[in-house]
Amino acid sequence: MKFWDRLGAIDRRIIYTVIGLAVIIPLVTKLTFPIRVSDTVRSAYHSIERLPAGSIVMISIDYDAASGPELQPMLIAVLRHCFKKDIKVILTGQWALGLPLGEIALNQVAAEYNKKYGVDYINIGYRPGYTALIVGIGRELRDFFSTDYKRVPIDSFAFMRRVHNYNDINLLVGLEAGATGDAWVLYAGARFGLKMFFGATGVSAPDLYPYLQAKQIEGILAGLQGAAEYETLVNEKGTGTLGMPTQSVVHGLIIIFIILGNLSYFVLRKKQK
Amino acid sequence: MILNIIGTWLAAGLTIAIFSFLYKDNPLYKFAEHLYVGVSAGFGVIYVWAFDLKPMLIDRFVSEHGVERWILLVPAILGILMLTRWTEKFAYISRLPIAFTVGIGAGLGITGSVQGFLLPQMQATLLPLTTINNVILVIGVVTTILYFYFSHEFKGASNIILRVAIVFIMVSFGASFGYTVMARISLLIGRVFFLLSDWLHII
Amino acid sequence: MRHQIPLIVVFITGVLLIVTFFIPHEPFGGLEQRFLIWYSIVAGFTMLLGLDSLTRYHLVKVRNQKSGWGYSIVLLLGLFLTLVLGFYSWAKYQSPFALGSPFMFLYTYVIIPLQATMFALLAFFIASAAYRAFRARTTEATLLLVAAVLIMLGRVPLGGWLWHRIVDLVDLIPGTHLAGLKNLEIFARINDWIMDIPQTAAKRGIFIGATLGGIVMSIRIILGIERSYISGS
């Protein structure tokens, strides 16, 4: 009886320690697992893959450092894909505290592919306004972003001279930690016909599936697994792929904890009856 | 290079300070927590200046001419009136800019919701009931909508609608929970990766 | 008048935004765009609203030396330092986010670790909560539990590894040749099916209900029936 009692009441610090070790050991031992690519990620990948060189992709940083571990690998993988295909990138965002993460990733990946600022990519920065901004850009981008994030007029950059609104943008990639993806779908997608796919945290991703089934979005990259799958498709291993073995081990451990807790519950309940 | 090393040690120290909360609330955690709030508040001010006031208002005021210049006083005044919320005596004046933003939000919301969500989602539910997946999807959507219809009590045989809806809702919540667990673990992996790789150079 | 003018403003702006959806031509289209730009400008000021109550609270705490006032000094110093570094970086590097600027140093080595670690703590709490509270007490709870476990298995490579081990185990039975079944990736397929069909159905039903509620609320706000946003100020 005591054993079953104790099994259902393991001290939380023991659980914390076990979880901590379960994260550290696979990372240190460099455990590997093959990554299976899902249809939702494959579909997102193809929406960039079929774009010709010189196309324009807008990436919206709608997350901050709190969701960085999940979404930053996605951003890096998408940027690598775009630069491999000589696709121009416009970086913007609806979350002010996330834009610097976008700048960090842009600089890192651009250097890998010898891409030049203003020629191959641009960071137009952030403006408040949320839905008003999304609708307003549909008419004229310059009404909100007359300069880039360094206060240089965007018309100074050759490829930006032909970008006025969503008609001149081939695809939007939204990296979502909250409900901003809904705003992109409702306003940019439905009203202006902009094609898009989303990378989302595990918390936000389930809410985007109705849009996918209704074909309002091209695909979803969900959580760190989504990042790992996209890295696999782009053939560039990153922190997404590196983190999946650890993710697997911890998931297994949590499932074991849940089973132990329920075992204790059912045995004690049966004994009480 | 030296700045990177100092910065990495600073970041590692702050990370460990926050993690120390797992043992119990302590001065190190409280220090880090208050620092976070202060720095975040400062960020807000810098953002408002660098990405709103300067480019959208001040630079435009300087570069525009005639009516286009002076009409910018309207949002500037509305913005300043918003700040009257700081005072108790004049806080009622902030109702004007709030009304402006709420009105725009409501107007955009109606058309956006209908065009961007209601119509496409309903259209996507109008599926031929020729496959088992389509049948399940349609039944799931209809029963879930009816579950939240509180103006009519479902009794007897119609109670089965609620029971079916609960199955779908519970599966959905279970899926969301599974994804949430995945999300939280990923965040932990990110921090531990930083500590082991960037700080300790173990991996 | 204090109530009437805001209600008139809400009505005019709300109706205008609806009318311009159907009549995007001038002058409505230009007016809509102007209002959207103004909204963007005014929205920036709302980010400053919380600053007053935050600084006032902590300044009072320091002045009266209430319990924990030392931490309030940390907060105020952090705020001040961020402002100084931010404006300096903006002036010298044309943007506070220029790589190499002091502001980016603050962001990279203070904001990122603090913000990310705050949320990383949740991993421990969710594991502990799942263990303690996730009990199959009722049919509904069991459904939720089973769905969560299947998702946790199928979403990560663990599901694939487990399926391969199950197939290997069954293959040990003499006469069975089931190695080809490994490609089925059962747990991943179950995960995909749950997300694509029942989860989507339930979420769509929930969001349709919420959207209808949101539309009704917006109409009530525009017509002045709902006035909670102007009360209390």
Which chain A residue has the Cα nearest residue B116?
A186
The answer, yes or no, to whether residue C91 has pLDDT greater than 60, is yes
Does residue B160 belong to any structural domain of this protein? yes
B139 touches chain C (CB under 8 A): yes
Residue type, A145: F
Does residue B185 belong to any structural domain of this protein? yes
Q: Do A125 and B179 touch (CB under 8 A)?
A: no
Number of domains in chain B: 1
In chain A, domain spans: 2-22+246-272, 39-243
Residues 74-133 of C with CB under 8 A from A: 93-95, 97-99, 104, 107-108, 111-112, 115-116, 118-120, 123-124, 127-128, 130-132
**Span B105-131, mean pLDDT?**
96
Does residue B149 belong to any structural domain of this protein? yes
Does residue B67 belong to any structural domain of this protein? no
Between C24 and C194, whose confidence is greater?
C194
Residue C184: pLDDT band by 50, 70, 90 thresholds? confident
Q: Which of B6, B9, B19, B43 to mutate to test the interface with C (most CBs of C within 10 A)?
A: B43
Q: Which tokens sit at C100?
A: 């190499």
> How close does chain C come to B188, measured CA to CA in Å?
4
pLDDT digits (tens, 9 = 90+) for C5-47: 999 999 999 999 999 999 989 898 899 999 999 999 999 888 8
Domain that holds residue B163: 127-203
The answer, yes or no, to whether residue C233 has pLDDT greater than 50, is no
Q: Do B51 and A96 touch (CB under 8 A)?
A: yes
Q: Which residue has the tokens 């439905």?
A: A190
The answer, yes or no, to whether residue A113 has pLDDT greater than 50, is yes
CB A120 within 8 A of CB A83: yes
Helix, strand, coil percent values for chain C (each to nearest 5): 80, 0, 20
CB B189 within 8 A of CB B183: no
CB A24 within 8 A of CB B192: yes
**Span C61-88, mean pLDDT?**
94
Residue A2: pLDDT band by 50, 70, 90 thresholds? confident
Does residue B98 belong to any structural domain of this protein? no
pLDDT digits (tens, 9 = 90+) for A221-256: 999 999 999 999 999 999 999 999 999 999 999 999
- Name the maximum alpha-carbon separation found in chain C: 89
- Show which subunits contact C, needing at least 3 CB pairs below 8 angstroms: A, B
**What pTM was estimated for this model as a whole?**
0.94
Instruction: Pick B180's closest partner by Cβ from C37, C46, C126.
Output: C126
Cα separation, A262 vs A71, whole angstroms: 34
Q: What is the pLDDT of residue C162?
A: 93
Residue A1: pLDDT band by 50, 70, 90 thresholds? low
How far from B64 is each of A136, A161, B50, C42, CA to CA, in Å?
19, 20, 19, 19
pLDDT digits (tens, 9 = 90+) for C123-166: 999 999 999 988 999 999 999 999 999 999 999 999 999 999 99
B73 touches chain C (CB under 8 A): no
pLDDT digits (tens, 9 = 90+) for C212-225: 999 999 999 999 99
The answer, yes or no, to whether residue C232 has pLDDT greater than 70, is no
Closest CA to B110 of C209, C33, A196, A186: A186
Q: What is the mean pLDDT of chain B?
A: 93
Which chain A residue has the Cα nearest residue B190?
A69
**Span C44-64, mean pLDDT?**
89
DSSP string, A178-224: SSHHHHIIIIIIHHH---EEEEE-TTTGGGGHHHHHTTSSS-EEEHH
Does residue B73 belong to any structural domain of this protein? no
Torsion sign, CA atoms A14, A15, A21, A26: positive
Does residue B175 belong to any structural domain of this protein? yes
- Bridge partners of C140? none
Which chain B residues are closer than 8 Å to C82 by Cβ? 38-39, 41-43, 45-46
The answer, yes or no, to whether residue A9 has pLDDT greater than 90, is no
The answer, yes or no, to whether residue A15 has pLDDT greater than 70, is yes
3-class SS at C166? helix
Instruction: Respond yes or no on whether the N-terminal peptide bond of residue C102 is cis (omega within 30° of 0).
Output: no
Q: Which fold has domain A39-243?
A: Rossmann fold (3.40.50)
Closest CA to A126 of A160, A155, A90: A90
Residue C231: pLDDT band by 50, 70, 90 thresholds? low
Assign residue A230 a region (left: φ > 0; alpha: ψ between -120 and 50; beta: otherwise): alpha
pLDDT digits (tens, 9 = 90+) for A26-35: 999 988 889 9
Instruction: Pick C233's closest partner by Cβ from B31, B94, B140.
Output: B94
Q: What is the pLDDT of residue C179?
A: 78
